[in-house]
């Protein structure tokens, strides 16, 4: 009881829901879900996806929230209370340590592009001039300005696996900044994280709405949307489509990482975690579909532009 009293709490249930949404909504929605839709039957992929959401996503999310809220401990401690033999299950929280290793690299790239976006013209808009200033860089002309900026100026990629290359100090500083921001977000536990989640939960939607408005006004956007939502029902007989739907639910909701148990452990024991499990899972899946509309409108523009350029040439 003393431990329960000393455990910090979210200021209100909304903070907890926002924390779960911030945790669930991410690359899995914006990149992985549209990719799987494209791979496994467009709109037809939604059938196995929603079946898996109801069959495994919601029950497991409810289980994790209930365990964390009832035991008022992190993943390892909660499973240990249930049974000492289940202590190893809680060790899945180690995965949550490995995740920031590569996610912060992506955050570092985001900072890198953000800092470079204050230039006019944008550095990835056109190819840079060569050393003689008589024309454009040959490597850039063979690919595109965006690819050149990514591979040569951002990654400065080495020619082979044998050549490790040198440390890119500007990118290293961006990576340090990404880790620092993450540290500041969790510095004071629920007191600081509870305030941060209001931004991290709502900002992706603001950005997606801006992208949606821009994407739908692009030439050829409708082609992308038609391609995405045209169901290819023959894929329903493909076992890989069902396996991909199941893994996408796990990946997107963040099940099995131990983080959801930790989030729920800061709730009041009387909190209605069943309702929150349904709300979070539905918001997460709706976001996936919404992000797919944004993504495929841009894909449609890019495909139409490349096709028409090819015809003109």
The pair of structure tokens assigned to 292 is: 């797919």
Q: Which residues belong to the annotated binding site?
A: 24-25, 29, 252, 284
Q: What is the pLDDT of residue 74?
A: 84
Q: What is the pLDDT of residue 33?
A: 92
pTM, two decimal places: 0.82
Q: What is the pLDDT of residue 9?
A: 87
Q: Which residues belong to the annotated binding site for Na(+)?
A: 24-25, 29, 252, 284
Q: What is the pLDDT of residue 2?
A: 43
Q: What is the pLDDT of residue 5?
A: 55
pLDDT in tens, the chain (313 residues): 444 557 888 888 899 999 999 988 888 888 899 999 888 878 889 999 999 999 999 999 999 999 999 988 888 888 888 888 888 887 788 888 888 898 999 999 999 999 999 988 899 988 888 877 778 888 888 888 889 999 988 998 888 888 887 888 999 999 999 999 999 988 888 888 889 999 989 999 999 999 999 999 999 999 999 988 888 888 889 999 999 999 999 988 989 888 899 899 999 888 899 999 999 999 999 999 999 999 999 999 999 988 988 898 7
């Amino acid at each position: 009881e003393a431990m329960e009293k000393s455990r910090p709490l979210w200021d209100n249930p909304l903070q907890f829901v926002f924390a779960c949404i911030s945790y669930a909504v991410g690359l899995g929605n914006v990149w992985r879900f549209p990719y799987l839709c494209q791979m496994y039957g467009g709109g037809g992929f939604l059938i196995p996806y929603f079946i898996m959401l109801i069959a495994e996503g919601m029950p497991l999310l409810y289980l994790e929230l209930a365990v964390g809220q009832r035991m008022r401990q992190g993943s390892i401690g909660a499973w240990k209370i249930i049974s000492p033999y289940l202590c190893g299950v809680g060790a899945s929280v180690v995965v949550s340590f490995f995740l920031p290793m590569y996610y912060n690299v992506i955050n570092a790239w985001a900072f890198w592009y953000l800092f470079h976006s204050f230039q006019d013209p944008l550095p990835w808009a056109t190819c840079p001039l060569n050393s003689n200033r008589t024309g454009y860089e040959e490597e850039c002309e063979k690919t595109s300005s965006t690819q050149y900026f990514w591979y040569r100026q951002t990654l400065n990629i080495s020619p082979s696996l044998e050549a490790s290359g040198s440390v890119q100090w500007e990118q290293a500083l961006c990576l340090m900044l990404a880790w620092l921001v993450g540290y500041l977000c969790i510095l004071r536990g629920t007191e600081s994280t509870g305030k941060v989640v209001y931004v991290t939960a709502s900002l992706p939607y603001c950005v997606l709405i801006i992208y949606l408005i821009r994407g739908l006004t692009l030439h050829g956007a409708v082609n992308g949307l038609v391609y995405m939502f045209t169901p290819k029902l023959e894929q329903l007989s493909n076992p890989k489509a069902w396996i991909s739907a199941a893994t996408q639910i796990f990946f997107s909701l963040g099940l099995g990482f131990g983080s959801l148990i930790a989030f729920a452990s800061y709730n009041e024991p009387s909190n209605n975690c069943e309702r929150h499990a349904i709300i979070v899972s539905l918001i997460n899946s709706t976001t996936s579909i919404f992000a797919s509309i944004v993504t495929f409108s841009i894909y449609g523009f890019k495909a139409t532009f490349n096709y028409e350029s090819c015809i003109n040439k």
